[in-house]
Amino acid sequence: MKHLAVFASGNGSNAENIASFFSQHPSIRCSCFVTNNPNAFVVQRAKKLNLDCLIFNKEQFYNGIEIVEELKKRNIDFIVLAGFLLRIPQTLIQAFPDKIVNIHPALLPKFGGKGMYGDKVHQVVIKAGETQSGISIHFVNENYDEGKIIFQAVCPIENNETAETLASKIHALEYKFFPQIIEKVVLGL
């Protein structure tokens, strides 16, 4: 059985979607959520799903040692970032080489990097006059949104598109594709 840890800093709808997708899976299980924000709704989602939720503050997170120990204690094989806002420290990347993936709500390499999340990234994409946006699932390295891209899916941007309408199209792509891509990568397919 491969064990996933899903990291989220906020709402956690992707984290819940992933945990549900793998709840009956024969060889992959979501073992815990991880967050840097004790007030994040993802903590409530973990309770509802009867899942452990590890809560670390920024200092604990950036030295990385404590979190690596906690994850190894839980036999975590793979880390999924789903709306996680802190940069991943080297200690974590070295402990999980090519075993950390992230989802970004835009078509990298454009529209990535620090601060590009939530409605902000959708506003920037619309303002740039793009005719489409989408999701990018990529391996994680020590810089924001720069690892090797594994998968992208696109959606059109209409004339009257708002950040809100685009966000809901992007979320629909995330819920549809992220669990499938995680499954493929974890199983080496």
Binding segment for ligand GRF (CB under 6 A), chosen from 25-33, 63-71, 103-111, 124-132, is 103-111
> 19, 6 in Cβ contact below 8 A?
yes
Q: Which of residues 145-184 bind ligand GRF (CB under 6 A)?
A: 170, 174
* Residue 14 makes contact with ligand GRF by CB under 6 A: yes
Which residue, 14 or 31, is less far from ligand GRF as judged by CB?
14
Q: Which of residues 18-77 bind ligand GRF (CB under 6 A)?
A: none
Among the listed residues 3, 25, 104, 138, the single catalytic one is 104
DSSP string, the chain: -EEEEEE-SS--HHHHHHHHHTTT-SSEEEEEEEES-TTSHHHHHHHHTT-EEEE--HHHHHH-HHHHHHHHHTT--EEEESS--SPPPHHHHHHSTT-EEEEESS-TTTT-STT--HHHHHHHHHHTT-SEEEEEEEE--SSTT-SPEEEEEEEE--TT--HHHHHHHHHHHHHHHHHHHHHHHHTT-
**C-beta of 170: minimal distance to ligand GRF in Å?**
6
Binding segment for ligand GRF (CB under 6 A), chosen from 57-65, 98-106, 145-153, 158-166, is 98-106
Query: What does the alpha-carbon distance between residue 155 and residue 76 come to, in Å, rounded to a whole number?
Result: 33
Q: Which of residues 117-136 bind ligand GRF (CB under 6 A)?
A: 117
Q: Which residues pair with 52 in a beta bridge?
A: 32
Q: Give the number of other Cβ atoms within 10 Å of residue 26's Cβ.
A: 7
**C-beta of 36: minimal distance to ligand GRF in Å?**
13
* Residue 91 makes contact with ligand GRF by CB under 6 A: no
Residue closest to ligand GRF, measured at CB? 83
Known catalytic residue at 25: no
* Residue 13 makes contact with ligand GRF by CB under 6 A: yes
Which residue, 2 or 45, is less far from ligand GRF as judged by CB?
45
Query: What is the contact surface with ligand GRF in residues (CB under 6 A)?
Result: 8, 10-15, 82-83, 103-105, 117, 170, 174
Task: Give the residue numbers annotated as catalytic, written as ranges.
Answer: 104
